[in-house]
Chain A
Amino acid sequence: MRTRQRREWLRPAFGIGVVVWLMTALPAVAASLYRIDQRYGVISFSVGSLGLFTTEGLFPRFEGELLLDTEAPERTHIDVTIDAGAVAMPLQDQADLLRSDAYFDTAHFPAEHFVSTSIQVLSPTHFVIHGLLRIRGVAMPQDLDAVVKDRHFDQERQLEVADFVVTGDIKRSAFGMVADQIMVSDTVRLAIRIRLTVGVQPHGE
């Protein structure tokens, strides 16, 4: 386990995350800071329609951090900001509908944000992430189920690599998205597959 401590200016969206990170990370000796963005993973979602079929979509732009502490997993901290306006669906009309004021209302709320508040360790590779999810300016408690599928050191690239699968069910009505309740299920299934690396600066920084 490699220890990393970085001091760098992060984007305003991560301000809260940085504060929490500094509070929690400094005492830790086994914490690794992972940068998260779309180059290393996929944030997808699926929603049922009339109980007959499922429609899937993607959030192709996001960024954030994960401070992973393997010796004290409960100290792990996550902070992710998603570009809601970049939402992608099989049809452009579907994506436009999601951007509209009936759904994400990206004109007023261009980003979604998740910040963890605590981590519940179920096993060394299985966690429940308790946190706050903010969509359309509404922040609600949200639990996500995280499983570490793989964690290893890539000798060739000299990077530590961790593959995560994070899932969770979101009630869209809780965030004020109540349109098309007959057609579109209230539960939206979130599925995040991400490969985290240490030592790579995003966006060529």
Chain B
Amino acid sequence: MANETAAGWSRPQRVLHWTMAALVLLAVPVGLIMTALPFRELLLKFVLYQLHKTLGLTVFVLVLAQLALHWRRGRPAWDAGLPAWQRRAAVAVHAALFSLLLLTPLAGYLTAATAPAKIPTLFLGVIPVPHLVGTNPVWFGVLREVHVALATLLVLLACGHALIAVQHHLKGRNTLIRMLRACE
């Protein structure tokens, strides 16, 4: 997928990266609040669920776009002096992050689709997204747990990813710089 011919991350790649990060950062607390909210807060609960679904669907699409960009343009060359094991670890973490960024929204969508309550999925609160699978209480229970587990893993991995990027930055590498602006 990724070759190492590009000088730095392109602007679309950087925009997609930070947009996805922001959406995930927003989706997690929204998800926690919407599930914790008492059912008596019916309207707010519904709005938050639709917001969470919208964020998830958007992330799913943006990840596909990011993967396409990576495939077309490749990634910047690795920092000289970066140990081989760290490169391998970085590749593995990126692969896991992309997988989780795809699988978590997918599990969320399937959770919504199989939910016994038959609540529709409305992108941006207005555009109906068809549920391609039917209601299934058993699968709903399983998928809900899977969605939460994947989301937890995604958050943990993303935090690790961010901490390591900061650590590299503090060590004088331009890891963060080239994610924020174009590099020569």
Which residues of A come within 8 Å of B, CB atoms? 49-50, 52-53, 55, 89-91, 93-94, 96-97, 100, 102, 179-180, 182-184
Q: Are B120 and A52 within 8 A (Cβ)? A: yes
Nearest CB on B from A189, distance (A): 16
Q: Are A94 and B120 within 8 A (Cβ)? A: no
Q: Does B46 contact A (CB under 8 A)?
A: yes
**Neighbouring B residues of A53 by C-beta, 8 Å:** 118-120
Q: Which residue of A lies closest to B126 (CB)?
A: A52
When the two chains form the complex, which single residue of A90, A96, A97 contacts B42, counting CB atoms closer than 8 Å?
A: A97
Q: Are B116 and A90 within 8 A (Cβ)? A: yes
Q: Does B132 contact A (CB under 8 A)?
A: no
Q: Does B80 contact A (CB under 8 A)?
A: no
**Neighbouring A residues of B120 by C-beta, 8 Å:** 52-53
Q: Are B39 and A94 within 8 A (Cβ)? A: yes
Number of interface residues of B (CB under 8 A): 14
Q: Does B157 contact A (CB under 8 A)?
A: no
Q: Are B117 and A55 within 8 A (Cβ)? A: yes
Nearest CB on A from B135, distance (A): 8
Q: Are A55 and B118 within 8 A (Cβ)? A: yes
**Neighbouring A residues of B122 by C-beta, 8 Å:** 52
Q: Are B39 and A97 within 8 A (Cβ)? A: yes
27 A-B residue pairs with Cβ-Cβ distance under 8 Å, sorted by A, are: A49-B46, A52-B120, A52-B122, A52-B128, A53-B118, A53-B119, A55-B117, A55-B118, A90-B115, A90-B116, A90-B117, A90-B118, A90-B135, A91-B116, A91-B117, A94-B117, A97-B39, A97-B40, A97-B42, A100-B40, A102-B40, A180-B42, A182-B43, A183-B42, A183-B43, A183-B46, A184-B42
**Neighbouring B residues of A55 by C-beta, 8 Å:** 117-118
**Neighbouring A residues of B42 by C-beta, 8 Å:** 97, 180, 183-184
